[in-house]
């Protein structure tokens, strides 16, 4: 239910970003430049090359909810999504920027549904295998920072590709190479 809570918010954000992006379809070139610039800034933040107190904020609410209830888990998922914690904010922001320049509301919702799946599956696996995970927690601590930097570098590359038009060209190449992708979603 936690997964459904944050998925609900993320899909709504994707639909909203796409709908707003459609209003600016006339300015797609400019939107790609602005969106790419935002994605590059998020990448620089994740690598540690750019500091931002706004992106580093963490807001917490203490709510007394009894565990084991579906509604409680759903509400916690909603709260998690709206919290935009610093660990998911840059990636979510980059995804929303890409969604804003997507061609349809449906594709924007699909982007955020896939994002939610990518975020939710590790949560579910962790819940299922908590006892095994505890024995390997040191490994996750050791590789956490390099993964964070690698993700930031990937965002920077995506931002540059978005600004230069190579991201669209890559999408076209991907669809030509793997035509079955047109039927997904």
Q: Are 19 and 125 in contact (CB under 8 A)?
A: no
pLDDT values of the chain reduced to their tens digit, one per residue, 185 residues: 666 776 777 777 777 776 776 666 677 788 788 888 988 998 999 898 988 777 666 666 566 656 567 777 677 676 666 555 455 666 777 777 777 776 677 777 777 788 788 877 877 877 787 777 777 777 777 888 898 899 899 989 988 988 998 877 777 777 678 777 656 54
**Which structure tokens are listed for 67?**
């565990």
CB atoms within 10 A of CB 82: 12
- Structural domain count of the chain: 1
CA distances to 117, 132, 134, 144, 146 from 139, rounded to whole Å, are 23, 12, 10, 8, 12
Q: Which domain holds residue 149?
A: 2-183
């Amino acid at each position: 239910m936690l997964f459904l809570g944050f998925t609900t918010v993320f899909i709504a954000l994707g639909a909203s970003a796409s709908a707003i992006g459609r209003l600016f379809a006339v300015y797609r070139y400019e939107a790609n430049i602005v969106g790419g610039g935002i994605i590059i800034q998020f990448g620089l933040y994740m690598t540690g090359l750019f500091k931002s107190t706004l992106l580093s904020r963490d807001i917490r609410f203490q709510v007394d909810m009894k565990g084991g209830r579906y509604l409680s888990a759903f509400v916690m998922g909603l709260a998690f999504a709206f919290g935009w914690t610093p660990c998911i904010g840059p990636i979510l922001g980059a995804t929303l920027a890409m969604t804003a320049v997507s061609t349809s509301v449906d594709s924007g919702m699909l982007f955020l549904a896939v994002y939610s799946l990518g975020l939710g599956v590790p949560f579910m696996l962790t819940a299922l295998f908590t006892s095994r995970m505890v024995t390997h927690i040191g490994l996750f601590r050791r590789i956490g920072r390099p993964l964070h930097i690698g993700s930031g570098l990937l965002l920077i590359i995506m931002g540059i590709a978005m600004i230069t038009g190579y991201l669209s060209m890559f999408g076209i190449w991907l669809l030509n190479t793997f035509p079955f992708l047109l039927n997904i979603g």
